[in-house]
Amino acid sequence: MWLDRIIENINYIGAIALFVIGLRIVVTHSNLIKRIMGINIMGTGVFLFFVAIGNVTGGVPPIVNPEVEDQLFINPIPSVLILTGIVVVVSITVYSLSLVVKIYENYKTIDQKELSKLISEENNEH
Amino acid sequence: MNDIIVKNITRIIIPFAQVYGIFIILNGHVSPGGGFAGGAIIGTTLILYTLVFGREKGKKKFSHKASEIAESGGIIWFVTIGLVGLVVADRFLTNINAGFPEGIIGEILSGGMIPLLMIGIGVKVASTMISLFNLLIDEGV
Amino acid sequence: MNIEQLPIINLLLFLLMALVIPLLKRKPFKITLILGFVVLGLVLISSGYLLWYVNNVEVIHYTFGGHEARFGIEFIVDPFSALFTTIIAGLAAIIYIYSSGDATEGIEKTEYGRYYVLLFILLMSMFGILYTNDLFNTYVFIEILSITTCAIISIKKKKDTYTSAFRYVMMNELGSLSYLFGVALIYMATGFTNITLISESIQNAYASYPVNIIVALGFMIIGLGIKAAIFPFHIWLPDAHSAAPSTSSAILSAIVIKVYILVLVKVLFRVFKLDILNEMNISTILLVLAGVAMIMGSVFAIAQKDVKRMLGYSSVAQMGYILLGIGLLSFEGLRAAFFHILSHGLMKTALFLSVGEIIYYKKTRKVNDFDGMGFIMPVAMGVFSIAALGMIGIPLTSGFISKLNLGVAVLDQNQIIFLVILIVSSLLNVIYYLPIIILAFLKNEKYRYRLKSIEPTPRTMIAPLVLLGVLIVVVGLFPNQIMIFIEAAANSLLP
């Protein structure tokens, strides 16, 4: 019984698992690159959730074929929305990676703990 | 990189990949794909060229200025098409009602203005991909 | 062409301006500045006209491409969005004049063009957020806004801006992904992303899928709370706002975080509606968050030695005031919150710009160095004092009117405890603003004879400051003129 329900909702469960894994990485890891990865995993979770909503069992991709009538299409709107979301996350990733490059050039580290130590030392000098 | 195999394979692959990208852009309204996917493919070929032949040669093929113009041009093209709808049919981005030909379902020439928009998006995405890549190489946020 | 096209033309003007600036790189920079000012002026006029139009004629519904609302994107210009776009355009014009006076502190000459590109895209996305009637479209504009704000922080090529911008990116992205998750859950339960259509079917959805709606509301409040720097999620704000150039800090603190709280208002009052909110007792949660923010923001601000950090923490406290008004879920509360958004916008802009001028001229940001500053830089310190008195809530300033309204709204709902918190928070404001004024004007005798002329900074920097000082007093003296529009905006949100 419960196994059936899990299999039925496997998309949603996977999406939420990805979201939580990503959140944990962003919050707990001190490596900046890993945190960017975490954001990406979180984003993937949300996107999977969105696309899973649009799925229709037995549906085909929503491209009108004039020869076949009465086709069952999946809902295309979530996929289209998510395309925008993917673009956004890509640009956020590029931007934050370029920030990490800059941080590495200036501080020679990409570890959050060492960074905060360096910054507090600098503030004390002034 | 100074590997003859990689260089030659790249030289052979790039034209095909770019033609495939253009195909996907132009078929965006009748099959899966579209401006973003096709533009990403073309952008990837440009990145591949830069990776294999180095930044200097890549600059010669697709300079910073060219990518800047392509980026602005893509958006301006999109806005212009939208403004046609605004002027003719009173709504921004109006399609069929603004006089764009409907065409036959399933043919390349269909969907009114959507193929035109796809071209704009494709140019914009391709140039943005390569300029983001160059930005990361050249440092500078 | 009729008036319905004005909102999209506003957006396109900003977008095209941002695209034109890189093409004008070879020409003298003055052309860019004048062109940008013309664009801002046009947008200010058109949004002012829209404000008059929607209040006196009718609300504008604009669908893109003529598709119906359930397929396409819809813009709604109603008293709410028209009022706040006008406020944003006005504040942005003032900040723009100031920034043209070479006060873009710490930015390299070659980056000026890029700064203005970012500024115009920022304005475009904020206008989009306010006009749009579609939750997913709001998400897209929010992301544009957060990328451009991060870029406008890190444009100053200094060490500390990179780390604070990175923290800002991470927190913002957590916020926007939470918001997107909320949108996904609502879409799952109702099948729409259009706000009007969702609000029609949300009661049924709540009856059949209560968990979806509750979780969606939670995700959206947390996501937008992170972006609006509501107290427990504020940790990115002081770093980011103090590291940015002064004009950017003014925009970020006075306008950008307000836009996120306006999205929250839209989500609460337009999407979920009062019935569901009352049933879930959201009011209590928001009020508790607001009360904590009002006290803790001020307490943290007292401990700061850097003026800009202090102003950043003060913003956290002021967001608490606005959230208090919203959390009351009543007409009076909304009215007070909206008025405070306007008056805090004016006061924070004045504070950041006057501090910016002091930093530009004296190269110091420490509170202790303000000794005798009132006689060295009378205009900047004068405007600073007016704005600081407004923050405290002295009569004759706009801050007094907003606190009065908040007090009335709180008493109306019988929440006496929040009146006490309001007064305590105002007293805490006194603790950190008044010493600066005393230090600058009253303490040190030896500077008094040195008052010769107004400070030798460009006229374009002094004029907007004086304008802001005058506006704070004028809004404080004649609040009724603007109150008509604010009440119309609050009415358009409530049934």
Tens of pLDDT along B84-102?
A: 888 888 888 887 777 788 7
Maximum distance among all Cα pairs of chain A, rounded to whole angstroms: 77
Q: Are C264 and C393 in contact (CB under 8 A)?
A: no
Which pLDDT score is estimated for C30?
81
Residue A72 gets which letter from DSSP?
A: -
Give the pLDDT score at B141: 47
Q: Is B92–C65 a contact, with Cβ atoms under 8 angstroms apart?
A: yes
What span, in angstroms and rounded, lies between the C-alpha atoms of C143 and C123? Answer: 13
Which residue in the set B30, B36, B135 is minimally distant from A63, CB to CB? Answer: B30
Cα(C101)–Cα(C357) distance, rounded to whole angstroms?
Answer: 10
Q: How far apart are CA C247 and CA C228, in angstroms?
A: 19
pLDDT string in tens for chain C (495-residue length): 578 888 889 999 999 998 888 877 777 878 888 888 999 999 999 999 999 999 888 888 888 887 777 778 889 998 999 999 999 999 999 998 888 876 556 666 777 788 888 999 999 999 999 999 999 999 999 999 999 998 888 887 777 788 888 988 999 999 999 999 999 999 989 888 899 999 888 888 899 989 889 999 999 999 999 998 888 888 888 888 888 888 888 888 889 989 999 999 999 999 988 888 888 888 999 999 999 999 998 998 888 888 888 888 999 999 999 999 999 888 999 999 999 999 999 999 999 888 888 887 777 777 777 777 777 778 888 888 999 999 888 888 888 999 999 999 999 888 889 899 999 999 998 888 888 888 887 766 655 555 555 556 677 788 888 999 999 999 888 888 889 999 999 988 887
Residue C177 to residue A53, Cβ atoms within 8 A: no
CA C39 from chain center: how many Å? 21
> Region A8-15: what's the mean pLDDT?
89
User: End-to-end alpha-carbon separation of chain C, Å?
Assistant: 33
pLDDT for C120: 92
- Written as six digits, the tokens of C407 are 């007090």
- pLDDT of C259 reads 92
User: Is residue A76 within 8 Å of residue B44, measured between CB atoms?
Assistant: no
Query: In chain B, which residue's Cα lies nearest the Cα of C161?
Result: B141
Q: Which of residues 39-98 of A touch C (CB under 8 A)?
A: 39, 42-43, 46, 49-50, 53, 78, 81, 84-85, 88, 91-92, 95-96
The residue among C381, C428, C230, C409 whose CA lies nearest residue C401 is C409
Collect all residues of chain B within an 8 Å Cβ-Cβ radius of residue A65: 106
CATH class of A2-125: mainly alpha
CB contacts of B110 in chain A (<8 Å) are: none
**To the nearest whole angstrom, how far is the Cα of A119 from the nearest Cα of chain B?**
21
How distant, in Å, are the alpha carbons of C401, C415, C418, C425 from that of C291?
20, 11, 7, 9
Distance from the Cα of A99 to chain B's closest Cα (Å) equals: 7
* pLDDT value, residue C105: 60
* Residues C370-400 as b or e (16 or more Cβ within 10 Å = b): bebbbbbbbbbbbbbbbbbbbbbbbeebbbb
Give domain limits for chain C. Answer: 302-495
CB contact under 8 A, C143 and A53: no
Instruction: Give C31-77 as a DSSP string.
Output: HHHHHHHHHHHHHHHHHHHHHHHHHHT--EEEEGGG--TTTS-EEEE
Burial class (CB in 10 A: 0-12, 13-18, 19+), C30: exposed
Residues of chain C that touch chain A, judged by Cβ-Cβ distance less than 8 Å? 136, 139-140, 143, 147, 150-151, 154, 159-160, 162-163, 165-166, 169-170, 173-174, 177, 180-181, 184, 187-188, 193
CB contact residues (below 8 A), chain B span 96-115, against chain C: 97
Helices B35-61 and B4-26 cross at an angle (nearest 10°) of 140
In the numeric block, the tokens 């093929």 are attached to B61
Beta bridge partners of C366: C306
**Which helix (H) or strand (E) covers residue C362, if one does?**
helix C331-362
Helix and strand totals (H; E) in chain A:
5, 0
Q: What does the pLDDT look like over B26-37, one tens digit per residue?
A: 888 888 778 888
* Residue B89 in contact with partner chain C when CB distance is under 8 A: yes
Query: Average model confidence (pLDDT) for chain C?
Result: 86
Gap between the Cα atoms of A48 and A45, Å rounded = 5
Record: contact C5-B86, CB cut-off 8 A: yes
Four-point Cα dihedral C123, C126, C130, C131, nearest 10: 50
Name the pTM for this structure. 0.93
Shortest Cα–Cα distance, B135 to chain A (Å)? 8
Residue of B79, B83, B93 lying closest to C64 (CB–CB): B93
Q: Smallest CA–CA separation between C9 and chain B, in Å?
A: 9
Q: Which residues contact A83 (CB under 8 A, 6 or more apart)?
A: B36
Matching residue, tokens 């890029």: C114
Q: What is the ipTM of this complex?
A: 0.94
